[in-house]
Amino acid sequence: MIPHAGYEVITLSDRANAALPESLWLSIGYMLLAVASTAAFMSVLGMALVYVERKVAAHFQCRLGPMRVGWHGILQSVADAIKLLLKEDLVPDRADRLLFFLAPAFSVLATLLALVLIPMSPTMQVVDLNIGVVFIAAVGGFGVLGILLGGWSSNNKWSLLGAMRAGAQFVSYEVSIILSLLVAVLFAGSLQLSEIVQSQADGWWIWRGHISGFIAFIIFVIASTAELNRPPFDLPEAESELTGGYHTEYSGLRFSFFFLSEFINMFIASALGATLFLGGWMPFHIGGLDGFNAVMDLIPPGVWFAGKTGFIIFLTMWVRWTFPRLRVDQLMRLEWKFLLPLGFTNLMVAACLILTDSYFFPL
Amino acid sequence: MTVAISSLLNRIRVSDSASGPIDAKEYFINMGPQHPATHGVLRLMLKLEGETIREVIPVPGYIHRGIEKIGESVNYRQFVHLTDRMDYLSAMMNNWAVAMGVERATNTVMNDRIEYIRTIFAELERIQSHMLWWGVLGMDLGAFTPFLYGFRDREKITDIFEETVGCRLTMNYIQPGGLMADIHPNFVTRVKEAMAYAKPKIDEYEELLSGNVILQERTKNIGVLSGADAISLGVTGPPLRASGVAYDLRKIEPYGVYDKVEFRTAVGSVGDCWDRYWVRVEEMRQSIGIVEQLIDNIPEGKFMLMKPAKKIIIPEGVYYNAIETARGVLGMVIASDGKSDKPVRIHMRSPNYNNLWAVDSMTRGSRVGDLVANISSLDFVVPDIDR
């Protein structure tokens, strides 16, 4: 909407494209770099998030958490990962072997596809699709398939119950997520994630969009927590009810795939929330106050992104270690009778705001 | 290459032909003996329709150790330590039930010191049991943090037990004729410290869990047990009081020094999980009050009135006495032939066993999640069900 000259977005795929006329090998090199960096980022981030989660949980619960492996237990996740790799991989008797093997792969694949789109800074993004938001929503829906298949193929009634819960829950909450994403898309006038970030150069949508942006952000956080199947919406794996839900029968590496994709999804959802509503890597700007904006620009965009995403991740962890779990019907009631009408109303309000061109701070 | 997904098709075909259309089919699912929500080895067969529970069939017996049968071949003093292994969170009260049975049968009157100490220990045990229950309820409903808070605060009380008794869980402290040992010199100050510590903690519990909207949604009007049903099923303890029946043996047939202290019986009105929750939280407060009234006034005296070396022989007859443990009424039946120092028959009416059968009527028509809340609010200790 408002073209901002301050930042030029160069993604890895752009680099590969640009390099192609000059040298094929350089182009391939960029592609390999993209693949390697995504894979490495995914596994390292997974371990880091597990460590952070354990530490946050521990301090909420008046204990220290992992302390023995490395300084303050910093290598605990590595030790756990090695343990998971070495564990025996059990397949239940009369399980649907093919689907049982495919299910975790689907989960990880969906996560991986969404991860490449996240703009972490102007130069740290792998692909910048012009339909970015739609693509992420679509790929997010694909992740449900892994969970459904995992629950179905395990030949275990508890797993099946968990998978059915997951199916109902994810399909329902996806609607709310998309409604809240649309608000930001309307404000930004683009589906492309980098452009959505650029559009917030005069202020983040959470406060520029009046109350509408804020409500959309709240809906997004609630619905994405449900979509990530984290407490208080962790019904698909409800440990005390379903003994682990859809991944009850999984062990070793395959279990770690589910586990990894769950944690990376948490990062993706938080990053998406930060990108759409909190300005992504865009520093804290107030339209018109150029001096203030220049000071804020001193902090590099990557740090802004990490800070905002980290804040949302901490928020979801805080909720996780405080709240009990909802019941199945209460979960559905929350979505269909509360969040969905609110989301639609909010979307209409946002549309009116845009038609009348009344944001905060165009100044 | 053809990909074999025939097993998926097969399964749909088989389940279709099993009985009627797949969407209307009721099926059975096995909850336990190994299940995180059954706290041990309780097995429940659930008849489900989708996620709606049609029937709950409890299958006890997975931790049966024949404690009652063993009781026939040991003398009364030796039997006390077996009762620790029944309801391990009410170990003191279980010990006391045996001791009281033997003392009443032999017409031995305990001195005030013994009664005071026994009452204090029983109430401490009740507080720590309810603290543990509170944490476990939180965990069962999906909030893990209360579990650790409950355990943390319970440690303060088990530390006191350890100092005087030497054990933290299975005490074997209250003996027929008195106590195993006198209280530790630090006992009084430690108890006062622990009570001063516990009081604000219970307010903290209320802040963390009671005020939570999700907890109230999960417990209010869930698992309603009417007072009449509770009485006819033989439910006792906090679940009975939550159903509106003010039945507390400490009030009705006071033993120990319960007639000398002031406390109120917490009584619910609806009989749902929320009332059971509230009754136990209030009981913790009342128990703290009882301990505080007693702790400064422990009289001097002997701590053991029957010579440990002497055989205890109960006159011929069948004796019954009951005690209010943290979970309800523990009845103790001792049949003696009047000759041997071992009972002819020994039987316990355990609170958990009777409370277990309330699960079915409480749960029918609700969801799997409600069943977990119900089990948790009844506060089972499975070894006490099987004995």
Helix (H, G, I), strand (E, B) or coil at B322: strand
Record the pTM. 0.82
What is the biggest distance separating any 2 CA atoms in chain B, rounded to whole angstroms?
Answer: 90
B56 — contact with chain A (CB < 8 Å)?
no
| Tokens 């949980």 sit on residue | A57
Contact B51 A161 (CB under 8 A): yes
To the nearest 10 degrees (0 to 180), the angle between helices A157-188 and A252-277 is 20
Indicate the residue of B35, B143, B148 with minimum beta-carbon distance to A322: B143
Query: What is the number of structural domains in chain A?
Result: 1
Average pLDDT for residues A99-105, to the nearest whole number?
86
Residue of B nearest to A156 (CA): B29
Task: Give B143→chain A minimum CA distance, Å.
Answer: 4
| Tokens 């991986």 sit on residue | A112
Stated as kind and residue range, the H or E segment containing B28 is strand B27-31
Chain B residue numbers with beta carbons less than 8 Å from the beta carbon of A238 are 142, 369
Q: Where in chain B is the domain with CATH 1.10.645.10?
A: 67-386
- The amino acid at A348: M
pLDDT band at residue A154 using 50, 70 and 90 as cut-offs: confident
Residue B260's region, left for phi above 0, alpha for psi from -120 to 50, else beta, is alpha
Tell me, yes or no, whether A76 lies in a domain.
Answer: no
B12 — contact with chain A (CB < 8 Å)?
no
Please report, for residues A225, A259, A278, the alpha-carbon distance to residue A230 in angstroms, rounded to integers and kept in the order given: 6, 12, 22
- The amino acid at A97: R
Chain B residue numbers with beta carbons less than 8 Å from the beta carbon of A240 are 36-37, 139-142, 372
Residues A15, B327: Cα–Cα separation, whole Å: 70
pLDDT band at residue A361 using 50, 70 and 90 as cut-offs: low
Q: What share of chain A is helix, strand, coil (3-state, %, to 5)?
A: 70, 0, 30
- The amino acid at A313: I
Q: Which positions ≥6 away from A221 have C-beta within 8 Å?
A: A273, A312, A315, A316
Residues B225, B360: Cα–Cα separation, whole Å: 10
Q: What part of A 126-155 touches B (C-beta under 8 Å)?
A: 152
Contact B36 A161 (CB under 8 A): no
To the nearest 10 degrees (0 to 180), the angle between helices A340-355 and A157-188 is 10
Quick: pLDDT tens for A264-282: 888 988 988 888 888 878 7
Quick: pLDDT tens for A34-68: 888 888 888 888 888 889 988 988 888 888 888 88
Contact B372 A232 (CB under 8 A): no
Indicate the residue of B27, B142, B367 with minimum beta-carbon distance to A240: B142
Residue A357's region, left for phi above 0, alpha for psi from -120 to 50, else beta, is left
Locate B202 and state its tokens: 């219970």
Task: Give B335→chain A minimum CA distance, Å.
Answer: 42
Strand partners, B333: B320, B347
Task: Give B151→chain A minimum CA distance, Å.
Answer: 11
Contact A157 B29 (CB under 8 A): yes
Tell me, yes or no, whether A55 lies in a domain.
Answer: no
The four Cα atoms A186, A191, A195, A198 give a dihedral, to 10 degrees, of: 30
Helix (H, G, I), strand (E, B) or coil at A127: coil
Q: Please provide residue A273's backbone torsions phi and psi, each rounded to the nearest 5 degrees.
A: -60, -45
B142 — contact with chain A (CB < 8 Å)?
yes
| More confident position, A216 or B23 | A216
Contact B218 A324 (CB under 8 A): yes
Indicate the residue of A96, A241, A321 with minimum beta-carbon distance to B144: A321
Provide the pLDDT for residue A360. 62
Please report, for residues B96, B136, B239, B273, B359, the alpha-carbon distance to residue B280 in angstroms, rounded to integers and kept in the order given: 21, 13, 9, 11, 18
- The amino acid at B33: P
What is the biggest distance separating any 2 CA atoms in chain A, rounded to whole angstroms?
Answer: 68
Contact B141 A234 (CB under 8 A): no
Residue of B nearest to A239 (CA): B36
Q: Across all residues in chain A, what is the average pLDDT? A: 82
Domain that holds residue A237: 93-356
Contact A240 B36 (CB under 8 A): yes
- The amino acid at B102: V
A331 — contact with chain B (CB < 8 Å)?
no
Burial of A180 (0-12, 13-18, 19+ CB in 10 A): buried
Q: What share of chain B is helix, strand, coil (3-state, %, to 5)?
A: 50, 15, 35
Tell me, yes or no, whether A58 lies in a domain.
Answer: no
| Per-residue pLDDT at A179 exceeds 50 | yes
Chain A residue numbers with beta carbons less than 8 Å from the beta carbon of B368 are 161, 241-242, 328
Chain A residue numbers with beta carbons less than 8 Å from the beta carbon of B367 are 327-329
Whether the complex's predicted ipTM surpasses the cut of 0.85: no
Q: What part of A 86-115 touches B (C-beta under 8 Å)?
A: 96, 98-99
Quick: pLDDT tens for A14-26: 777 777 778 788 8
User: Of B358, B357, B359, B381, whose CA–CA distance to B372 is shortest?
Assistant: B359
Locate A123 and state its tokens: 């130069």
User: Of B387, B382, B379, whose CA–CA distance to B150 is shortest?
Assistant: B379
Residues B301, A80: Cα–Cα separation, whole Å: 58
Residues B67-386: name the CATH superfamily: Cytochrome-c3 Hydrogenase, chain B (1.10.645.10)
- Chain A / chain B CB contacts < 8 angstroms: 92
Q: Which of B15, B47, B205, B218 to mutate to test binding with chain A, by most A CBs within 10 Å of its CB?
A: B218
Residues B280, B219: Cα–Cα separation, whole Å: 14
Indicate the residue of B3, B8, B152 with minimum beta-carbon distance to A62: B152
- The amino acid at A360: F
Chain A residue numbers with beta carbons less than 8 Å from the beta carbon of B3 are 98
B144 — contact with chain A (CB < 8 Å)?
yes
In tens digits, chain B (387 residues) has pLDDT values of 444 444 434 544 544 444 444 455 677 777 878 887 777 788 888 878 778 888 788 887 888 888 888 988 888 888 888 888 888 888 888 999 989 988 888 888 888 888 899 999 999 999 999 999 998 888 888 888 888 888 888 888 899 988 888 888 888 888 888 888 888 888 889 898 889 998 888 888 888 888 888 888 888 888 888 888 889 888 998 999 988 888 888 888 888 888 888 888 888 888 888 999 989 999 998 999 999 888 888 888 888 887 777 788 888 889 999 998 888 899 999 998 888 888 888 998 888 888 888 888 888 888 888 888 888 888 888 888 888
Residues A109, B342: Cα–Cα separation, whole Å: 69
Provide the pLDDT for residue A362. 53
Strand order in the sheet with B43-49: B27-31, B43-49, B52-59
Q: Please provide residue B287's backbone torsions phi and psi, each rounded to the nearest 5 degrees.
A: -65, -40
Quick: pLDDT tens for A272-324: 888 888 887 877 777 667 777 777 777 778 888 888 889 999 988 888 888 88
Tell me, yes or no, whether A182 lies in a domain.
Answer: yes
Sign of CA dihedral B238, B240, B244, B247: negative
Quick: pLDDT tens for A69-78: 888 888 888 8
Chain A residue numbers with beta carbons less than 8 Å from the beta carbon of B149 are 61-62
| More confident position, A30 or B287 | B287
Tell me, yes or no, whether A4 lies in a domain.
Answer: no
Contact A240 B7 (CB under 8 A): no
Q: Which of A154, A319, A327 to mutate to test binding with chain B, by most B CBs within 10 Å of its CB?
A: A327
Provide the pLDDT for residue B21. 46
Q: Which positions ≥6 away from A329 have C-beta within 8 Å?
A: B367
Q: Which positions ≥6 away from B235 have C-beta within 8 Å?
A: B225, B229, B243, B328, B354, B355, B358
Please compute, for residue B136, the number of CA atoms within 13 A of its CA located in the half-sphere on the CB side. Answer: 23
